[in-house]
Amino acid sequence: MTPETLETLQAARAARRPVALLTRLPDGAQRLHPDEALPPALAEAAEAALRDDRAGPVTAEGESWFIQPQTPPPRLIVVGAVHVAQALVPMAAAVGLAVTVVDPRRAFATEERFAGDVTLVDDWPDDALLALRPDLRTAIVTLTHDPKLDDPALDVALKSEAFYIGALGSRRTHAKRVARLTELGHGEEAISRIRAPVGLDIGAVTAPEIALSVIAQVVAARRGKLA
């Protein structure tokens, strides 16, 4: 690997920018996607590797390559250290998501309530999300049911590239939320990105059931299976 390629990979990792490293077999020549121009078939294969997080060999235009995605870990940002969040965090960690729980109410966001692999942030939600810089590998879920906390988070989320945005609440609650977000300047297309009521419709009632429906919807969105 050349010093230039290594430097580019390190910079991409620091910026949480997904890139694919392509190694030509058997001479070992290397290319980066999307940083370098590639033949269409090879670029398509590299894009698929990034999308699926899957390394493997490919033959394009008579040449054999090995494609290795270099992607930051997918993550879930949960706004609201509520009961649903307590059930959601271990499920998210189990499917490979790095989880951050944001809640300025310090009595809620405590290590006693959230054991295990989770980052707790007690900043105001919009400040926290701005600092976390949601990207294409970030899912965001708001669970507080409090417009003072959920709305600022959604305002930032809708301006980001997050692959999933979900918000807890009934259809009636969401209609009011839509009106508020519209007043903040968000258009219909942007607001339609919000999955609300959050989660797949499995008839969930309890906090663990709601958490299950949410994580299933996040996984479906990540895998491109969400209608």
Return per-residue pLDDT of the chain as tens, 227 residues. 888 888 888 888 888 888 999 999 989 999 999 999 999 999 999 999 988 888 999 998 889 999 999 988 899 999 999 999 999 999 999 999 999 999 999 899 899 999 877 999 999 999 999 999 999 899 999 999 999 999 999 999 999 999 999 999 999 999 999 999 999 999 999 999 999 999 999 999 999 999 999 999 999 999 888 87
Give pTM, 2 decimals.
0.83
Return phi, psi of residue 55, to 5°. -85, 155
Q: Are residues 105 and 140 in the same domain?
A: yes
Reading phi first (left if > 0) and then psi (alpha if -120 to 50, else beta), residue 215 is in: alpha
Which residue range(s) make up the domain with 17? 3-70
Q: Are residues 96 and 176 in the same domain?
A: yes
Count of alpha carbons within 13 Å of 92, Cβ hemisphere only? 33
Position 132: which residue type?
L
Q: Are residues 154 and 114 in the same domain?
A: yes
Tally the domains of the chain.
Answer: 2
Return phi, psi of residue 5, to 5°. -65, -45
Question: Could you tell me if residue 227 is inside a domain?
Answer: no
